[in-house]
Structure 1
């Protein structure tokens, strides 16, 4: 497999040690029967005690060599397989971080987790078997067959007759297990998806009393996975019994033929004992080698699924010679149109505007009008289908992605916090932030009061999914995380929706002073949140239907007036 070969090149020393261990192990396993044959025929047969003792000493040395070879083989094969899978997982994770939202939607988060964990684990099992068995078995088979022919050509024909049956069985099993392996891995994807949805959406499930439904849904998926696994393992379980059945048949044939040969004097007892050992090693090595082919379909499926991630070219590419630009404080949308790769119609249509340093530009419109999609184009979560977005006069597609996103403080619509302390989550925006900068960001984000009321203050632990704090608290910590970064551009994607009106007003006043040297974009549903913005852009079905200040839009834009009329009092409208 090309995927494994790519990573094996990194460990030439371990591969060399693995090969040395293989030949040492093979030499011992096939050397002991040879020494034993000499001891029986030349020592015991002739009553030569000195010869027996000398052969015993040689056998001891061979055993010591074999022990060292086994240890070396186990060490090298384990290191190679674990290091290789470690590297694959790291690279898969790095690749996933380079994906745009389009690739995440294509593969699905649950499937990507399965590929990183379960598929990589299947490759580790296979690679460990490969280096301990697949490389050893051919050596053992070749030497064993050579020794059987050298011992007795007549008896070696018994092994020759068994080989076609074993090879045919391996081919049949491989063909039967390949489609089942693919179904099994897809079933694992479905189970992970349902598990993830059930765990993250447990409150909704309980609120709608759907626990039994979800349990049944998971049980059905689990049963399908179990059925596929049962079929797969049932086929694989025939391998070992069938092999031993053939081995025993071959041994019975050897006993019958050898008894006649010993009676005629054409075969010695020691040679017969050695032949049995050679025969066992030859056929057992063939069985081990066949196990590689039995496991290969599963490993190939996993390798192909991982390779799919590596082969996927992200739609949002980081330019090889990405540039940086001085902070001039200007963002320009130049006839921007955007259509999702799997969409039929554009969701953003021919939008143009300029936001200068120190300005606050707000977006408002009905649900599905394209507000969040529009601002997601700025940090290049997606790329515009037509037109361009420029920051400081430079097309965002020409920026180095790291430098581009370093300019931006993004507060998403759904506040996301990591498991850890409050301080760790805030420093995610700037790992080098000083305690003074953190305190200032917390105070500006109106988060100081509730943080101070926590028993451990900034060291208070946030649980997985931030279930132990409220939605408004999550939003304020997210805002503090962006503020501590001190970016050139702030993007608030409906980031005040969980705040009460008092906190919202206080936060907007504090932000105005904090962001006076930056460009601020706000997506909001509340008129009160954006009415003091320098520029308000009204969107409807992906098109700009109004642009101006609050007072201008009340007079010129019917869509904006309708939204304002539904939220403000008559006195507020007439101000």
Structure 2
């Protein structure tokens, strides 16, 4: 309820209107039986036709007011439940944007999707019932009990005798449903995870003809979800028949007692008719309360899962939380940097130190797992260092506004990521107001202009997962996207791996012209991509084992010599 109340305060006026409409509904439901009792006991018994018509007019008026109140109640409930759920989803999405890699790994993609979609939907369903019944139930219950007691104290004892059975049943159902709801949501996460893996990995699955195994995995997850859902539905389906059984039992007992009272002259027929209506409203109000009470455990499970996202403290915290404008970056210094992943035991990087200045290109090379990508991911603060410091213009990177820092960086990841939409949309991702001329210039530098024109221009749509462009084209579009932004720092994380040697050479030549006033950091597997770098850092098992130019490293670094020998022919080595 704490989560719901924190959002409800933004809709005070609509909630007040919801309260007002509840009383309109109660007026109809409780007012009409009372008037009908008067019509029977006075109008029918005394054959007072004028009174009957008069009360009929009152019933018509109350019905119109009640109808308006019921419609208004439905509108308020729908508006409040959908608006609050929308706000929760928006806030969850905004919160996840603040997460570092650690939080994404901790929650998992499937879990975050389930919490944003299904868990939020469970909250919405509960809110719709809650706003419809939370106030109506006590108003109807109190009003009905007062009128029941007023109509007949003796008959009221029958109703009071059934209430304890209902309450005990509700408590049992609620405890059981909470456990089942938690398991149901976990199994839904399992389904989402398997579905995501199958969709993204369909080519690998088909290549290994592993369709049957994947179908079995999905069937197991789906069957588990079905099992928990079936148990929940069975549990809930028992409550309504049990309620009607108790109500009918109470009704039979009341008719039997009332027949004796009418025969003895202690009860009028009109009173009995009104009493049975009041009985229905008392029992129905209690059932609505039970429904809310039974739905609460499922909503509570979802609310706890959502609250965990809101309570998560990002490992990478913003220094100021203000700003956002790009900053000038003249130099970046790694000062004895050590880094270990939050869930790792050993350091991935150990005592790394170097400085790169504006207009310089620094490259990183080494065997797989040597820490190259990890190192450059520390610059935009995907993670924070475990030891040492990263300095930007002599200032600790953790003291700089995070948005300003990232707005000053053009990051081209190892796996080129394009979004659904046009090519222009993707190129404008880092600069929304980029002109056509800026996009064309960036595309030409990235060696992407020709194939963009061949495909039909910048308005051509990129399909989901960018299946209509090749790996090399994806990389060039990613590079063009960073170039459009014109940042202070360019980070290339093995961003030339899918390019042929000819395109690679052209691209590097053009980049050298355009990026002469920027800091350029390059991770590469191919020596030909970094031969012209001002400084090359050779990494091995997280440590710097060599630093210098291409020629210097060929003379002084054994590991670099081994890499060069495996990639360059004898003539190239002799020339170098």
Corresponding position of 1:77: 77
CA distance in 2: counterparts of 1:99 and 1:431, whole angstroms: 23
| Cα deviation digits, residues 169-216 of structure 1 (max 9, x gap) | 000000111111000000011100100110111111111111111111
Per-residue Cα deviation, 1:532-557 (whole angstroms, up to 9, x for no partner): 11100011111101111111111111
Aligned to 1:496: 496
Partner of 1:33, secondary structure, is helix
- The residue number in structure 2 matching 1:568 is 568
Separation in 2, partners of 1:76, 1:176: 31
Give me the whole-angstrom Cα distance separating, in 2, the residues matched to 1:286 and 1:466.
55
Deviation string 1:23-55 (CA, Å, 9 cap, x unpaired) is: 110111000000000000000000000010111
**Cα distance change of structure 1 residues 117 and 555 upon mapping to structure 2, 3 Å threshold:** same
Question: How far is 1:280 from its partner?
Answer: 0.3
Q: How far 1:432 sits from its partner (Å)?
A: 1.2
Q: Conserved in 2, the CA contact under 8 Å of 1:326 and 1:392?
A: no
1:200–1:328 Cα change, 3 Å? closer
Measure how far apart 1:134 and its partner are.
2.2
Name the residue aligned to 1:177: 177
| CA displacement at 1:570 relative to structure 2 | 1.1
Secondary structure, counterpart of 2:344 in structure 1: coil
In structure 2, C-alpha distance between the alignment counterparts of 1:484 and 1:394, rounded to whole Å? 27
Partner in structure 2 of residue 414 of structure 1: 415
Alignment of 1:107-256 (within 5 A): 107-256=107-256
Distance 1:285 1:528, change over 3 A: same
Moved over 4 A (4+): 321-326
Q: What does the per-residue CA deviation read over 1:69-125, in whole Å, with 9 as the maximum and x for residues that have no partner?
A: 101111111111111001000000000000001000000011001100000000000
Unaligned runs of 5+ in 1: none
Per the TM alignment, residue 396 of structure 1 is displaced from its structure 2 partner at its CA by 1.3
Contact 2:493 2:522 in 1 (8 A): yes
Contact 2:321 2:402 in 1 (8 A): no
Q: For the residues of structure 2 that align with 1:285 and 1:92, how far apart are their CA atoms?
A: 35
Partner of 1:290: 290
Give the corresponding residue for 1:316: 316
Flag structure 2 segments of 5+ consecutive residues without an equivalent. Answer: none
How do 1:349-364 residues align onto structure 2 when only pairs under 5 Å count?
A: 349-364=350-365
Using a 3 Å threshold, how does the CA distance of structure 1 residues 408 and 453 change in structure 2: closer, same or farther?
Answer: same
Q: Does 1:57 align with 2:57?
A: yes
Q: Report the Cα distance in structure 2 between the residues aligned to 1:305 and 1:430, rounded to whole angstroms.
A: 35
1:452 equivalent in structure 2: 453
Question: Which secondary structure state, in structure 2, belongs to the residue aligned with residue 409 of structure 1?
Answer: strand
**Paired position in structure 2 for 1:519:** 519
How far, CA to CA, are the matches of 1:350 and 1:128 in structure 2? 57
Shift of 1:326: 5.5
For residue 322 of structure 1, report the CA deviation from its aligned partner.
5.7
Asked if 1:299 is matched to 2:269, the reply is: no
Per the TM alignment, residue 327 of structure 1 is displaced from its structure 2 partner at its CA by 2.2
1:411–1:493 Cα contact (<8 Å) kept: yes
Match of 2:27 in 1: 27
> 1:325 Cα deviation (Å)?
8.5
- Report the equivalent of 1:257: 257
Q: How far off is 1:320 after superposition?
A: 2.5
Matched residues in 1 for 2:305 and 2:221: separation? 20
1:508 aligned residue: 508
Q: Equivalent residue for 2:330?
A: 329
User: Is the CA contact (8 Å cut-off) linking 2:370 and 2:542 kept in structure 1?
Assistant: yes
- Kindly indicate whether the alpha-carbon contact (under 8 Å) linking 2:327 and 2:404 is maintained by their aligned counterparts in 1: no
Provide Cα deviations, 1:346-375, integer angstroms capped at 9, x if missing partner: 101110100011111000011111100000
Identify the residue that residue 374 of structure 2 maps to in structure 1.
373
Distance 1:326 1:203, change over 3 A: closer
For structure 1, which segment, 233-242 or 318-327, has the greater mean C-alpha deviation from structure 2 after superposition? 318-327
Provide the rounded CA distance (Å) in 1 between the counterparts of 2:329 and 2:543: 28
Specify the alignment match of 2:528 in structure 1.
Answer: 528
Give distance in 2, aligned partners of 1:320 and 1:298: 38
1:495-530 Cα deviation digits (max 9, x unpaired): 000000000000000000111000100000001101
Distance 1:138 1:554 in 2: 84
Q: CA deviation at 1:63?
A: 0.3
Sort the Cα spacing of 1:163 and 1:91 in 2 relative to 1 into closer, same or farther, 3 A.
same
* TM-score of the two chains, using structure 1 as the length reference: 0.99
1:438 maps to what in 2? 439
In 1: Cα distance, 2:175 partner to 2:321 partner:
48
Distance 1:21 1:310, change over 3 A: same
SS of corresponding position for 1:10? helix
Number of residue equivalences: 574
Aligned to 1:384: 385
Deviations 1:372-401 (A, max 9, x none): 000000000100011111112221111111
1:100 matched residue in structure 2: 100
The separation in 1 between residues aligned to 2:326 and 2:210, in whole angstroms, is: 53
- Verify the 8 A CA contact 1:446 1:476 in the aligned structure 2: yes
